[in-house]
C-alpha cells in the first residue's frame, strides 16, 4: 500500500490525465458500469458558536477497477474580507487541512493507497471547468474573465487552454498584490497575455468565458454585466438572479446513482445538522430550484444527451451557457486517484505502508 502526499501527486498528475479520467468515469456512470453517491456532510457544534465542525465524504467505484472514499475534516466559519463574505476552513489551526483519499481495488477489496486530496482536488475541479468549456463554450472562445487568483483560478486556466485557444485572461480579485502575482505567473507559465484588473465589472468586457473561482458565499457573477455568447463557470458564490435568468443553456454532467428503488437525487451535498446549529438564512432560490425551473423551460442538457448525439450543448453563438458537475463528486476520486496510483507505482513514488496494517482476522 502507498501513501502519497500532495508533492507526490503533483509529480505524476497532469490536467490532461485528469480530464480524460473524469470524462471516462462520467461515461461509465452513464452506461451503468460505475456507481457513486453525492457529498454527505455531518455538522456538529463546537465550543465557539461562530464555528462548526463538518465531516464530509463522498465515494464511488467502477468495474474498471477502483473504488475510492474521499473525506474531509474541517472547522468552518464565515468571515468578511474587503466587503465580500467568504467561507473559511481549517483543521487543527488556520493554514492546515485534513483531506484524504482512500483507494481500493474492486476485484479483491485490497487497500491500495492513502493520499492527500489537496492537489488532486484543485485538478479535478479545474478539469470539470475544462470539460464544461469543451462542450459549451464557443469554438472561437479565446478571452477568459477570471474572478479569483488562488489555486482554483490556476487549475481552471490549465484546463481551459487544453480545449480552446486562449489568448487573453483578465483577472480580478480583491487583493491587488494577489491578482498581480497571478497575472505574472500565468503569463510566464503559459505565454498568455494576462491583465490584472482594478474593477470587477471589467472582467466581463469582451470575455468569451467568465469563471468565478473564489471562496465567496454571496453571488459573484452578476447578470447585468454578462454579454451574449459568454460561457459561465462557477465554483463558489454563485450567480445572482439576473444572471440565472439570462442562462440560455445549462449543462449538467449528471446525477449520482440513486439509492435502490428511489428517484435520482439532484442535491450536490446532503447535510446532516444537529438541532443546536441554527439554520442559516438563505436568500433567493437554491441551485436545485433553478435547475428544476430551467429543466421545465427546456434549457437543461445532460452530458449523456450530448454524448449520445441527441442534443447539442450550445444551440447558438449568442447563447449564454453555464456548466456544472452535478453531484458526481463520488465518480471523480476513484477515477483520478486510480490514475495517480498507477503512475506513482510505475515511477516508484510514494511511501510504502504494510498492507497488513489495514487488514484483520476478525470478520467485520
The more confidently predicted of residues 283 and 249 is: 249
- 206 Cβ neighbours under 8 A, 6+ residues apart: 143, 227
- Say what percent of the chain tops pLDDT 70: 96
- Please tell me whether residue 28 adopts helix, strand or coil conformation: helix
pLDDT at 283: 41
pLDDT at 74: 97
Residue 169 clears pLDDT 70, i.e. is over it: yes
Backbone torsions φ then ψ of 164, nearest 5 degrees: -145, 155
pLDDT at 284: 42
Residue 280 clears pLDDT 70, i.e. is over it: no
Alpha carbon of residue 42 to chain centroid: 20
CATH for 2-121+330-357 is 3.30.1780.10
pLDDT at 39: 93
Average confidence (pLDDT) over 199-215: 95
Report d(CA 136, CA 193) in Å as an integer.
23
Question: In this predicted structure, which of 12-26, 92-106, 162-176, 254-268 has the lowest mean pLDDT?
Answer: 254-268
C-alpha separations of 120 from 9, 208, 244, 325, 354 in Å:
7, 27, 30, 16, 24
Question: In this predicted structure, which of 57-66, 81-90, 164-173, 302-311 has the lowest mean pLDDT?
Answer: 81-90
pLDDT at 268: 84
Average confidence (pLDDT) over 50-54: 94
342: alpha, beta or left? (left if phi > 0; alpha if psi -120 to 50): alpha
pTM: 0.91
Residue 82 clears pLDDT 80, i.e. is over it: no
CATH for 138-254+280-326 is 3.40.50.720
pLDDT at 236: 79
List beta partners, residue 2. 113, 352
Compute the C-alpha angle 263/292/26, nearest 5°: 60
Dig out the grid coordinates for 349 from the structure.
Answer: 513514488
pLDDT at 281: 37
| Cα-based torsion angle of the residue sequence 34, 37, 39, 45 in order, rounded to the nearest 10 degrees | -140
- 272 Cβ neighbours under 8 A, 6+ residues apart: 40, 41, 42, 43
When the pLDDT of each residue in the chain is averaged and rounded to a whole number, the result is 93
Q: Per-domain residue ranges for the chain?
A: 2-121+330-357, 138-254+280-326
Residue 344 clears pLDDT 80, i.e. is over it: yes
**Identical fold, 2-121+330-357 and 138-254+280-326:** no
The more confidently predicted of residues 55 and 282 is: 55
Residue 64 clears pLDDT 90, i.e. is over it: no
- 33 Cβ neighbours under 8 A, 6+ residues apart: 62, 63, 64
221-246 confidence digits (pLDDT tens): 999 999 999 999 998 778 999 999 99
Amino acid at each position: 500500500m502507498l501513501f502519497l502526499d500532495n508533492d507526490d501527486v503533483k509529480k505524476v498528475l497532469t490536467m490532461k490525465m485528469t480530464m480524460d479520467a473524469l470524462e471516462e468515469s462520467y461515461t461509465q456512470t452513464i452506461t451503468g458500469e460505475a456507481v457513486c453517491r453525492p457529498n454527505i456532510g455531518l455538522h456538529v457544534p463546537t465550543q465557539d458558536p461562530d464555528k462548526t465542525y463538518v465531516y464530509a465524504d463522498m465515494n464511488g467505484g467502477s468495474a474498471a477497477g477502483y473504488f475510492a472514499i474521499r473525506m474531509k475534516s474541517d472547522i468552518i466559519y464565515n468571515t468578511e474580507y474587503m466587503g465580500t463574505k467568504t467561507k473559511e476552513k481549517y483543521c487543527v489551526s488556520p493554514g492546515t487541512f485534513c483531506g484524504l483519499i482512500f483507494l481500493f481495488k474492486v476485484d479483491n477489496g485490497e487497500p491500495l493507497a492513502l493520499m492527500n486530496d489537496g492537489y488532486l482536488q484543485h485538478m479535478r475541479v479545474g478539469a470539470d471547468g475544462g470539460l464544461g468549456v469543451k462542450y459549451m463554450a464557443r469554438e472561437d472562445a479565446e478571452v477568459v474573465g477570471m474572478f479569483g487568483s488562488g489555486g482554483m483560478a490556476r487549475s481552471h486556466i490549465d484546463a481551459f487552454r487544453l480545449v480552446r485557444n486562449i489568448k487573453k485572461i483578465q483577472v480580478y480579485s480583491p487583493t491587488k498584490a494577489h491578482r498581480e502575482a497571478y497575472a505574472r505567473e500565468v503569463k510566464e507559465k503559459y505565454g498568455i497575455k494576462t491583465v490584472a484588473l482594478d474593477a470587477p465589472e471589467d472582467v466581463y468586457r469582451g470575455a468569451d468565458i467568465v469563471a468565478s473561482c473564489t471562496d465567496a458565499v454571496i453571488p459573484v457573477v452578476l447578470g447585468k454585466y454578462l454579454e451574449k455568447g459568454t460561457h459561465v463557470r462557477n465554483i463558489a458564490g454563485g450567480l445572482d438572479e439576473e444572471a440565472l435568468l439570462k442562462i440560455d443553456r445549462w449543462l449538467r454532467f449528471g446525477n449520482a446513482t440513486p439509492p435502490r428503488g428511489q428517484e435520482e437525487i439532484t442535491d450536490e451535498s446532503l447535510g446532516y445538522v444537529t438541532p443546536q446549529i441554527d439554520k442559516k438564512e438563505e436568500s433567493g432560490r437554491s441551485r436545485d430550484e433553478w435547475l428544476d425551473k430551467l429543466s421545465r423551460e427546456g434549457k437543461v442538457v445532460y452530458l449523456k444527451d450530448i454524448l449520445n448525439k441527441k442534443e447539442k450543448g450550445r444551440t447558438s453563438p449568442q447563447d449564454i451557457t453555464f456548466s456544472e458537475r452535478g453531484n458526481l463528486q463520488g465518480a471523480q476520486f476513484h477515477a483520478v486517484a486510480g490514475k495517480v496510483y498507477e503512475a506513482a507505482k510505475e515511477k516508484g513514488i510514494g511511501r510504502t505502508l504494510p498492507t497488513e496494517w489495514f487488514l484483520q482476522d476478525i470478520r467485520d
